[in-house]
């Protein structure tokens, strides 16, 4: 399927303003939020498409590139080789103050840089979980060495609250405007305030513990919940749990935890379904059998192989897969039957099989019929 034009996705003209962009995104994201469309499996992909369009068009640099090259910009997708992965935006974030902007500002590292940001860096931590945890969800935690506000000065960077003064040169704005003469013109140049280095504050008694940094690196235990049925690569945002600004002030960045689901010993996951291959011997295919295996939901699964099965047949165990995304019910476990062929046959066994060959082997006189039958079956199943 061809990738849709970002402006078309958001229903906007190419000359739309930032405000119109934000409004269109908010309204479409609310309409298509998977939480509000539990019965519509398409909602999630539409939600992601809207997110991607907004991520690019809300970044001035990326929007210029997109306007110039469309989807075929040199260097490939701006989101890297894997393309856009989507982000978790809660429904609440789409109302009022709009917590969603900070989610998007992480993608292209800053975007419009206007002096010193008043937010610390966002941090991304990759966290691996088992497939059982991904299926069932639950509380977990991780340990990381991260910056946190200095305990002794509470992140102020000054020993006492009085030790933080508003810079008088820039009146706390962090930036100063200077008029410079360029030929016949007067050009106004805005730059970081030289007195406070763009901070807007002057620390008169730096905290001794953090040497005026306002933060310290500490081993932290971060507790968080995994939603049941989470997909690989999901990013969870923890607001203001990222890096505090160096030198205090402002707000800390956000902390993102990216979920990596570890491989299971025999299952492969396909959305809410699980796939596995089951080797069974020729007698079991012929006569049927029951196979019991431990399952990731904690209860065993019983695979009922009917008599007269063929290698390549698939069996569906309904409702034993992953929870379906935001909907009700669970996906299936699909079992692919494979023929188990022993590597070595003891002489005695070989002899027995040779004796049975007339009954269970192929009849060479009928081989053309058999081949024809097989071809018909294959064409039917296509």
Q: Contact residues for Zn ion (CB under 5 A)? A: 150, 152-153, 167, 169-170, 193, 195-196, 207, 209-210
199 C-beta neighbours (distance < 10 Å), count: 24
Nearer to Zn ion, 152 or 357 (CB): 152
Token code pair at residue 227: 């939603």
Q: CB of residue 218 vs Zn ion: minimum separation in angstroms?
A: 12
Nearer to Zn ion, 14 or 211 (CB): 211
Q: CB of residue 166 vs Zn ion: minimum separation in angstroms?
A: 8
Q: CB of residue 180 vs Zn ion: minimum separation in angstroms?
A: 19
Q: CB of residue 246 vs Zn ion: minimum separation in angstroms?
A: 12
Q: Are strands 314-317 and 333-339 parallel, antiparallel or unpaired?
A: antiparallel
Q: CB of residue 164 vs Zn ion: minimum separation in angstroms?
A: 12
Q: CB of residue 207 vs Zn ion: minimum separation in angstroms?
A: 3
For residue 278, give the nearest of 263, 264, 292 by alpha carbon.
292
Nearer to Zn ion, 103 or 207 (CB): 207
In angstroms, the CA 271 to CA 209 distance is: 50
Nearer to Zn ion, 26 or 173 (CB): 173
Nearer to Zn ion, 94 or 150 (CB): 150
With contact defined as beta carbons under 8 Å apart, do 165 and 204 qualify? yes
Nearer to Zn ion, 14 or 217 (CB): 217
The full DSSP string for 301-361 is: EEEEE-TT--TT-EEEETT-SPBPSSSSSB--EEEEEEE---S---HHHHHHHHHHHHHHS
Nearer to Zn ion, 37 or 195 (CB): 195
Nearer to Zn ion, 153 or 296 (CB): 153
323 C-beta neighbours (distance < 10 Å), count: 19
Sort 294 into a burial class: Cβ within 10 Å, 0-12 / 13-18 / 19+. exposed
In angstroms, the CA 294 to CA 302 distance is: 9
Q: Which residues pair with 257 in a beta bridge?
A: 125, 236
Q: CB of residue 193 vs Zn ion: minimum separation in angstroms?
A: 3
Q: Which residues pair with 179 in a beta bridge?
A: 188
In angstroms, the CA 54 to CA 61 distance is: 13
Nearer to Zn ion, 88 or 171 (CB): 171
Task: Provide φ and ψ at 93, rounded to 5°.
Answer: -65, -20
Q: CB of residue 153 vs Zn ion: minimum separation in angstroms?
A: 3
Q: In whole angstroms, how far apart are CA 38 and each of 43, 115, 140, 271, 290?
A: 8, 43, 26, 16, 36
Q: CB of residue 220 vs Zn ion: minimum separation in angstroms?
A: 17
For residue 337, give the nearest of 279, 281, 275, 293 by alpha carbon.
279
Phi-psi region of 68 (alpha: psi -120 to 50; beta: other; left: phi over 0): alpha
Q: CB of residue 201 vs Zn ion: minimum separation in angstroms?
A: 8
Nearer to Zn ion, 10 or 153 (CB): 153
The runs of H, that is alpha helices, within the chain are 6-10, 18-32, 43-57, 60-69, 100-105, 131-136, 282-287, 347-360, 367-381
């Amino acid at each position: 399927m061809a990738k849709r034009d970002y402006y078309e996705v958001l229903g906007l003209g190419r000359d739309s303003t930032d405000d119109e962009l934000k409004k269109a995104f908010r309204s479409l994201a609310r309409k298509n939020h998977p939480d509000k469309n539990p019965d519509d499996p398409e909602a999630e992909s539409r939600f992601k498409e809207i997110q991607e369009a907004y991520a690019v068009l809300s970044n001035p640099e990326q929007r210029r590139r997109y306007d110039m090259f469309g989807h075929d910009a040199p260097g490939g997708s701006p989101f890297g080789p894997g393309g856009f992965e989507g982000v978790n935006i809660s429904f609440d974030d789409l109302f009022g103050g709009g917590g969603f902007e900070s989610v998007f500002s992480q993608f292209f590292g800053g975007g419009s840089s206007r002096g010193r940001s008043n937010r610390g860096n966002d941090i991304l931590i990759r966290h691996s979980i088992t497939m059982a945890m991904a299926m069932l969800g639950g509380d977990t935690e991780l340990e990381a060495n991260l910056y946190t506000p200095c305990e002794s000065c509470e992140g102020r960077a000054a020993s006492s609250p009085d030790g933080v003064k508003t810079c008088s040169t820039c009146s706390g704005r962090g930036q100063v405007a200077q008029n410079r003469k360029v030929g016949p013109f007067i050009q106004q140049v805005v730059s970081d305030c030289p007195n406070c280095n763009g901070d807007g504050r002057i620390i008169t008694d730096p905290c001794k513990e953090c040497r005026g940094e306002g933060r310290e690196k500490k081993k932290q235990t971060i507790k968080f919940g995994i939603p049941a049925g989470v997909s690989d690569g999901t990013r969870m945002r923890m607001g203001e749990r990222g890096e505090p600004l160096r030198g205090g002030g402002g707000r800390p960045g956000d902390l993102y935890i990216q979920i990596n689901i570890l491989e299971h010993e025999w299952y492969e996951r396909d959305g809410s379904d699980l796939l596995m291959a089951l080797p069974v011997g020729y007698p079991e295919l012929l006569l049927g059998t029951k196979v019991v295996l431990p399952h990731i939901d904690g209860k065993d699964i019983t695979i009922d192989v009917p008599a007269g099965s063929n290698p390549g047949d698939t069996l569906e165990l309904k409702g034993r897969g992953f929870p379906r995304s935001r909907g009700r019910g669970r996906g299936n476990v699909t079992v692919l039957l494979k023929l188990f062929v022993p590597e070595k046959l003891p002489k005695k066994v070989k002899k027995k099989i040779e004796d049975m060959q007339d009954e269970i082997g192929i009849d060479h006189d009928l081989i053309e019929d058999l081949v024809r039958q097989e071809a018909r079956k294959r064409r039917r199943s296509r």
